[in-house]
Structure 1
Amino acid sequence: MDKRGKRIIYVSQCILNQNLRFPGIAIESGAISELLIPIMKNGIGIESMPCLERLGWGGVQRTTFFKYFPMISKNIGSFKFPIIKFFLRSWLKKYKNLCKKEAKKIILQMQDYHNSGYTILGIIATNDSPTCGYTQTINFLEIISKFKELDIKGEFENPTLEKMKIIIPRLCENGSGYFMSEMAKQIKRRELKVDIIGFNIWNNLAEEIEVVLNKLNLTV
């Protein structure tokens, strides 16, 4: 026997490393320590889920997104837009397949933990993401239309935290992102008892952390 506690929490990778966030929306220089330290003090192991946007959107700098975004933004409402939207749907289909593939890998890890007598206390998912959002997400197909509705122009081409902390909450809507939707399906299919908790990063941080810890039945 050793000291392992056999309790695990999975988190979105950007909670451990804000450097992976979409440009302009990192709220910390590194980890969100205010959330992670209480988890660690409770003797719980932390597993990171992969950042799918880094894998599928062109790395840390999201080069694929920024390569095509100006063209998409410029042609909102034009005769070219239905064609652009068609190609965007094709790209999203490939991205969803990536999310499905990676979700299966995580579920196999969880199943291994379960079979070995460990307890998965839950998943903490970053709630403002089109990928990892659980109760709040951004609909990638509708976001472009919302730019015109909300009079958002060049903010995404040169994103800063000051701009994005106003814009991102306005773009969010109820629902789950591509990766968390797939995770929820796989958890249900495998009959695993794993709760997913949406972490609303743009709320009052101290209050939001308290909400998350309470849902996990952890003391601060």
Structure 2
Amino acid sequence: MTDDAAVPRDRVLGSRLSDERARRVVLVSHCLLNQNTRYAGGATRRGAVSELVDELVDAGYGIHQLSCPERLAWGGVLKRHSLWLYDSKGKLRYAFRGVLLRAFVWWTRLVYSSLARQVVRDVTDYQRSGVEVVGIGASPSCGVLTTLDLRASLEVVAACPAAALTRDVMNEQVVLGCRRPGDGLFIDALDRRLRRRGLTLPAFEHDLAAELRGRRQTVLTSPAPRSLGRKSA
């Protein structure tokens, strides 16, 4: 009987087939690697936020791109389900905004919860395989420290005539002007799923305001990450 017999097969194979992987992976918000899914007016790059990619590659992280929760819940790349309130003030549909918003948030939470369940499965798989996992989120939905006040944001677009809705209005008033402290709806769903499984995930926030205003940032050397979830007792 060899010593290998007392060691789980996956650990034996991992030792014998040791290679160059650093066993570090970062879960990255989809739109940081693919700005084609950003809300209209919010893309600052032709494709990815290249300095973030460079930072992660230089630090030896594998990059795991998360699905875009807003694309899945809000009607595809153009977020068609969120367009019903645009330029609606004074029109009949504006009178039903309370009911419509409640239904919109309910559907959003349902989709985000399902997506969070899959992400937790991925985190579990990585961690069981001896891979360190961290996350990088960006508001509106994936903010680790900031979130979008949906009601306030939709009130801005409802009151803004279509002809006056510019890129600056969208970024400064609809998005940045309606942010508040707290986690985004998807991060909230992910945090709750991690807690149920007794898992923890350090998560950094990519500063959307800095990106929109042309300031470069180094995410991994920003203030200490927030810990999502918790370890088992």
The corresponding residue for 2:182 is: 175
Please state if 1:194 is matched with 2:207: no
CA displacement 1:15-34 (0-9 Å, x = unmatched):
10111100101011110011
Please state if 1:137 is matched with 2:137: no
- Give the Cα–Cα distance (whole angstroms) in 1 for the partners of residues 162 and 169 of structure 2: 7
Please state if 1:69 is matched with 2:85: yes
Q: Name the TM-score, length of structure 2 as normaliser.
A: 0.77
Q: Name the TM-score, length of structure 1 as normaliser.
A: 0.82
Percent identity reads: 24
CA displacement 1:195-217 (0-9 Å, x = unmatched):
12221121267866225434579
Q: CA deviation at 1:157?
A: 7.9
The corresponding residue for 1:123 is: 135
- Give the Cα–Cα distance (whole angstroms) in 2 for the partners of residues 64 and 171 of structure 1: 19
Number of residue pairs matched? 206
Q: Which has the higher contact order (CA 8 A, sep 6+)?
A: 1
Q: CA deviation at 1:108?
A: 0.5
- Quick check: 1:124–1:196 contact (8 Å CA) kept in 2? yes
- Give the Cα–Cα distance (whole angstroms) in 1 for the partners of residues 216 and 196 of structure 2: 30
Greater C-alpha Rg: 2
CA displacement 1:86-114 (0-9 Å, x = unmatched):
13212321220110000010001100111
- Give the Cα–Cα distance (whole angstroms) in 2 for the partners of residues 156 and 183 of structure 1: 38
CA RMSD, aligned part only? Answer: 2.7
Q: CA deviation at 1:182?
A: 0.8
Structure 2: tracts of 5 or more residues without a match? 1-17, 226-233
- Quick check: 1:138–1:173 contact (8 Å CA) kept in 2? yes
- Give the Cα–Cα distance (whole angstroms) in 1 for the partners of residues 78 and 151 of structure 2: 21
The corresponding residue for 1:102 is: 115
The corresponding residue for 1:164 is: 170
Q: CA deviation at 1:79?
A: 10
